[in-house]
Amino acid sequence: MTSLNDITQQAGRDAAPAVPFPAGFRWGAATAAYQVEGAAAEDGRGPSVWDTFCRTPGKVLGGDTGDVAADHYHRFGEDVGLMSGIGLNAYRFSISWPRVQPDGSGAFNQAGLDFYRRLADALLEAGVEPWPTLYHWDLPQPLEDAGGWPERDTAHRFADYAAGVHAALGDRVRHWTTVNEPWCAAFLGYASGEHAPGRREPAGSLMAAHHLLLGHGLAVQAMRDRLPGNRFGAAVNLYAVSPATDDEADADAARRIDGMQNRLFLDPLLNGRYPEDVLADLAPHGFAPDPADLPVINQPLDQLGVNYYTRHTVSGRPGEATQAVSSPFSAHSPWVGSESVRFVTRGRPVTGMGWEIDDRGLHEVLTRLHREYPAVPLYITENGAGYDETPDGGTVHDAGRIAYLDAHLRACHDAISDGVPLRGYFTWSLLDNFEWAWGYSKRFGLVRVDYATQRRTPKDSARWYAAVIRRGGLPDAG
Ligand code: IFM
């Protein structure tokens, strides 16, 4: 096994970067509670929608669950050691709502809060800044039983939960992310049913999206009132979107998908309104959110998290070659209001998820945000590549992941040179982990996890990333 010393020493031998990032840039990696923690029934944690979903036959590949995952709950000390070996100066993790407030309302579970206090302390001691996300999809089951995100009350429960976590951790955590990828939580969870809770209710999914945004706004209000010095934001999964051809129908398909994927979230968060064309597309589904919620959603943001993986190329004409956009389980579309749109494969190289690799799309997303929306400090809160991988001679030679990360970091650098206020980059993921409906079949980690032994093995990409951080940038493209 490669030791941490090896990681650091190799990084130390590298020359000054030809492509330097600004001083103070956050170099991070990300995980999420249900994907890494395990300890699903320990120390008072209650069930979440994902515990229930994983136990529903046919929902997750191989019948996998997050019961043990990467056992981060018990091994976080070792994992923090890995982070400092790589040289990360920030770690994005999520707080498990059912671990700290098992019923989703009412009493908090002190043992759950203590876990995150210990984690934050270990990080701070190692010089790694803790960046928690409050909601990465593990809704407490009792709240789902009461109607889930389509119910307005869930947004208020989320704000109460956020205030409770903030009271416990606000003294040691400065940067807070409210909701992660509300598009996925709303539309994979409540429209296509590929994700927990597996409901297929188009109208309900739209209200889920609205209430996730409302929950974000209410949570920011609740936390900022408690301790004004902290920094607050959300993390949205944005895509570059292109029409397959210059045909008008394809242009309209691109407008719709950009509307549902990007603008449905960015416009209320940053401008305090839903886009008119998207509201018109969604009117047949009865989407008529209360306009009084918009100023609540539109809280001043201190940071915006961008999760970027690929581009959508779309056609509005029948008969184009198409590809599934998310998992192989989808029988229903997550694209409410855009059902006639087809996703076109361009034949570019793909990751193990089947997602086309398109680093220029990241530059496009960042410069578009800078051009079209009010200025806010940006962070890449997720970016990475998942593959089916096998270890080779005590490590993993993940050249594909290194090439992916290198290309996307160059896109970030170009965006910074173009004036985009990009302040940090968190790769997805620190560790191999539970990839939702794909179970453990896809690996995104810088560090391999052998799930039978829980042994951690840094991959080539961990050493590569350590060298990038140590140099403060990338070498010449060569
Ligand atoms: O693993 C997920 C993560 O939970 C949310 N963003 C995308 C990642 C890769 O699919």
| DSSP per-residue letters across 22-74 | PTT-EEEEE--HHHH---TTSTTPPPBHHHHHHTSTTSSGGG--SSSTT-HHH
DSSP run (H or E) holding 234: strand 231-237
Whole-number pLDDT of residue 11? 47
- Give the Å distance between the CA of 414 and the centre of ligand 1: 25
Tell me whether strands 311-315 and 342-343 are parallel, antiparallel or unpaired: antiparallel
Q: Which atom of ligand 1 is nearest to the CA of 428?
A: 8
Residue for token pair 């391999």: 448
Residue for token pair 């709950």: 73
Alpha carbon distance 60, 5 (integer Å): 38
Q: Which candidate, 56, 42, 145, 67, places its Cα nearest to that of 103?
A: 145
Q: Which candidate, 107, 124, 105, places its Cα nearest to that of 116?
A: 124
- Give the Å distance between the CA of 462 and the centre of ligand 1: 19
Bridge-partner residues for 425, per DSSP? 27, 380
- Give the Å distance between the CA of 277 and the centre of ligand 1: 28
Residue nearest to atom 10 of ligand 1 (CA): 435
Whole-structure pTM value: 0.96
Residues of the chain with pLDDT under 70: 1-14, 320-331, 478
Alpha carbon distance 111, 99 (integer Å): 8
Residue nearest to atom 4 of ligand 1 (CA): 32
Residues 6+ apart with CB under 8 A from 13: none
Please give the structure tokens belonging to residue 158: 């989320």
Beta strands in 113-218 (DSSP E): 129-135, 175-180
Q: What is the DSSP letter of 252?
A: H
- Give the Å distance between the CA of 60 and the centre of ligand 1: 15
Tell me whether strands 378-382 and 240-243 are parallel, antiparallel or unpaired: unpaired
Whole-number pLDDT of residue 420? 98
Q: Which atom of ligand 1 is nearest to the CA of 35?
A: 4
Residues 404/357, Cβ–Cβ less than 8 Å: yes
Long-range contacts of 56-59 (CB under 8 A, 24+ apart): 56/198, 58/329, 59/196, 59/198, 59/329, 59/437
* Ligand 1-lining residues (CB < 6 angstroms): 32, 35, 181, 307, 382, 428, 435
Whole-number pLDDT of residue 1? 37
Residue for token pair 């990009």: 422
Write the pLDDT tens digit of every residue in 431-448.
Answer: 999 999 999 999 999 999
Amino acid occupying residue 432 = D
Whole-number pLDDT of residue 6? 53
Alpha carbon distance 213, 206 (integer Å): 11
Test site for ligand 1: of 34, 181, 236, 310, most ligand atoms within 8 A of the Cβ? 181
Instruction: Check if 125 is active-site.
Output: no
- Give the Å distance between the CA of 435 and the centre of ligand 1: 7
Instruction: Check if 382 is active-site.
Output: yes
Beta strands in 119-181 (DSSP E): 129-135, 175-180
Whole-number pLDDT of residue 227? 84
User: 5-474: which CATH number, 3.40.50.300, 1.10.3720.10, 3.50.50.60, 3.20.20.80?
Assistant: 3.20.20.80
Test site for ligand 1: of 382, 401, 431, most ligand atoms within 8 A of the Cβ? 382
Alpha carbon distance 160, 363 (integer Å): 37
Bridge-partner residues for 395, per DSSP? 392
Catalytic residue among 181, 194, 320, 356: 181
Residue nearest to atom 2 of ligand 1 (CA): 435
Alpha helices per DSSP H over 259-307: 264-266, 276-282, 294-297
Tell me whether strands 422-428 and 378-382 are parallel, antiparallel or unpaired: parallel
Whole-number pLDDT of residue 394? 81
